Every structure is written in C-alpha cells, then in structure tokens.
Amino acid sequence: MREIILIQVSGNDRPGLTAAFTGILARYRLNILDIGQAVIHDTLSLGILVETPQDADSSSVLKDLLFEAHKLNINVRFRPIDEDRYEEWVAGQGKDRHIITLLARKITAEQLADVTTTVADNGLNIDSIARLSGRVHLEGEALNEDNRACIEISVRGEPQNGEAMRAAFLSIANERNLDIAFQRDSAYRRNRRLVVFDMDSTLIRSEVIDELATEAGVGKQVAEITEQAMRGELDFNESFKARVALLKGLDEGALERVRERIQLTEGAERLISTLRALGYRTAILSGGFTWFGQWLQELLGIDYIHANELEIENGQVTGRVVGQIVNGQRKAELLRGIAAQEGISLEQVIAVGDGANDLPMLGEAGLGIAFRAKPLVKQNAEQAISTLGLDGILYLIGVRDKDQAELLKGN
C-alpha cells in the first residue's frame, strides 16, 4: 500500500549524513515529495517527505533508517501523512509568498519575538528563516559600522490587514532599533537591474549646498531653507532658487574645498562595487550639483548622472542654475527614461533617497527605499533603512555576506 511519510533527522552535523539516509531511500526506490535541510551551529536538521510505492514494504525502510541513525548517533522520527492533508498542502503552493527582512547591528530575541508575533497575528505562516549576514565573533558588546546582522523570513499568505501590519512593523522598528522590510516574493525581487540614488545625505553624508553656504558665510539661512524643503514644507523649486541665490559671489575654489571634506555614506563603496559585479546599472538623480555628481560618478563608477548645473562666470558663482531644475517630478521622469533606455521594467528598478523630493521616484521604482530619511519620507516610502549603511540594500535583494565577499574578491 502506498504511504506518505515525513522523515525528520537531527543531530551533530558531519559529512556524509544526508548521503547515508538518502542512500537507503534510493535502495527502496522511494519518491521524494519534498526535502529541506538546515545547519545551525553544528547541528543538522533534515526533513524528507517520501512516497512509498504500492509494492514497497515501508516497515523495512523505517527499520533500516532507524539502524543507520543508531549507528551514526543521530535522532530520526517518522510521521505518516494523510493523503488528503498532503493534497491540501500541495494546493497551498499557489498562495502568495512574502519576504520579511530584518536588519540591525545585532539581532535580539525581543526583535524577533515582536516581528514573529505580528506575523502570526496577521495569519501568515512562516516557511523558512535564514541568516544572510556572516557569523559574528564574541569580541565585546561595542557596535560599530562593521557590525551587520540580517535575517530573512519567508512567509506564505496575505496579511489580514496590510496597513495595520506595516504600522506595527514601523512601531517595532522604532522601538527595537532595527529595520523591517516586507516584500512580495516575486521574480522581480530577485532580478532588479537598475539602482538610482539621490546624492546629498544618501550617497554622501552631507548636503553640499549647506557646505557651500558655509563657505559663503550664509550657512544658517540656507540650512533653514534646506530643512524645510526636505520636510516637504516648501516647494522645492522656489526653495532651491532661494538657496542658490544666496551663494552669489562665492569663488569657484570653494567647490574643491567642499569636495575635499565630503565623506561617502557608510557602505556606499561596498554597495556600488557589488552591484557592478552583479551587472547592475546605477544612476545619480540629484537635486544637488553636477560638479559633485560627476566627481562621484568617476570615483564610484556610476553609469548615469543627472543633477543641477551651477552657473559659474569669471571664477564666481552667479547665484543661478543652468537648465531645468531636478526636482521630485523630474527625478521620477529621469528614472522612467533610464529604465526605458536600458530596456527594463520599472519593477526592476530600485530607488534610494532621504528627502521629500525623492518620494516621486521612490514611488515609481519596483523597490523604493527611504535611507536614513525624515519621518515623513519613512512613513510614505515602501521600505526604509536607518540602522545600517547603504550596503544593507544588498540584503533586500537577497545577497548574502559570503556572496558579497566572493564578488568583491573577484573584482
């Protein structure tokens, strides 16, 4: 009589364990309906769902498996599965799946408990949990930019209340100092091809126009306008013109002095290098200035750069910009244009920014990420990263630390 049996193997891991058990199943010509294996620390957990043929003697199979487990000092358990339950399980494979990604300097039990409770409250079933970040040494409690932790949780089904679940995740993220991304597990998630970045306070740590204003002695006035614009309280075009006008008379050499003190954002070089190794195209879409964007383009190997042209005459800033201002809507237009030029869908685009003028392009992209952003932007963006550097984006597309190391070594 045909039977369906779940075989569960656990114990100290070592080479040859899986081969030993599957070898027995092969001798009896069993069909493998499902299989999964994981190793945590040095402990193996192996599950195999098998179908015994009509003429097979399942008792002989189980006896041989038990004997092998005893010989190897491994635990093995068997559970018969009803055919109706099996067919019900098979029917569920068409359900939507989502990926929940947890990012922090260190993952704690409190963080995981809060997230998994929210998952359960929304009727989602966890299929698997995997660690994407590398193993960590026990070298003290101090956390720095070298500390990165990421767990990826695969869940099945649709949340009962998507907006409420997102609000719960945002609350947990703020309280527990971690980032939580919730994405549909589609083919596009694993096949993004273009990443577009804001520049100021995204690829670099500073706002260039504020730095130039400091050089011109109008830092306070410009900083106030910048902050209001980034919070969405002022029209970007008018605020931008007002700030640039205050730079009138600044000597051209100030641009180089500012450039010399610009710092790249944590993880920027690692991210761009890894994306290039994976064949991604990259772009800067900035409300800042092309003078600095072109420097970044050469430094990092960025493919496209669109920003504002600061007018300079006779070695001095005129207080005007040349051409169309790159505001929020213009960023969205440029994103669509580059995607069309590259022959890819918008679902394959990732957009990253921190200000209100980045929201239009974040909304256009298949994956929009608010990076260390203002509260308004975090609330309105699909995803947000605040605890890690820019290279945390790699986790959202499923790139593990060991993958990154291999790619960067090759380059």
198 part of the active site? yes
Q: What phi and psi, each to the nearest 5 degrees, are found at residue 11? A: 155, -175
Q: CB 135: neighbour CB atoms within 10 A?
A: 8
200 part of the active site? yes
**Cα–Cα–Cα angle for 109, 112, 114, nearest 5°?**
105
Q: CB 136: neighbour CB atoms within 10 A?
A: 12
Query: To 10 degrees, what angle do helices 236-245 and 208-216 make?
Result: 30
In this structure, the chain runs to a length of 411
CB 216 within 8 A of CB 246: yes
Query: To 10 degrees, what angle do helices 253-261 and 208-216 make?
Result: 130
Tokens of 274: 């890894």
- For residues 131 and 106, give the distance between their C-alpha atoms in angstroms, rounded to a whole number: 12
CB 176 within 8 A of CB 113: no
Catalytic residue among 198, 354, 358, 391: 198
Residue 92, helix vs strand vs coil = helix
- For residues 277 and 274, give the distance between their C-alpha atoms in angstroms, rounded to a whole number: 5
Q: Which residues, 6 or more positions from 379, have their beta carbon under 8 angstroms from its beta carbon?
A: 170
- For residues 135 and 210, give the distance between their C-alpha atoms in angstroms, rounded to a whole number: 40
Catalytic residue among 114, 179, 200, 391: 200
End-to-end CA distance of the chain: 57
Residue 11, helix vs strand vs coil = strand
| DSSP-assigned letter for residue 135 | P
Q: Where are the alpha helices (DSSP H) in 231-312?
A: 236-245, 253-261, 268-277, 290-300
- For residues 290 and 321, give the distance between their C-alpha atoms in angstroms, rounded to a whole number: 11
Could you tell me the strand order of the sheet in which 97-104 lies?
Answer: 125-131, 149-156, 97-104, 179-184
Catalytic residues: 198, 200
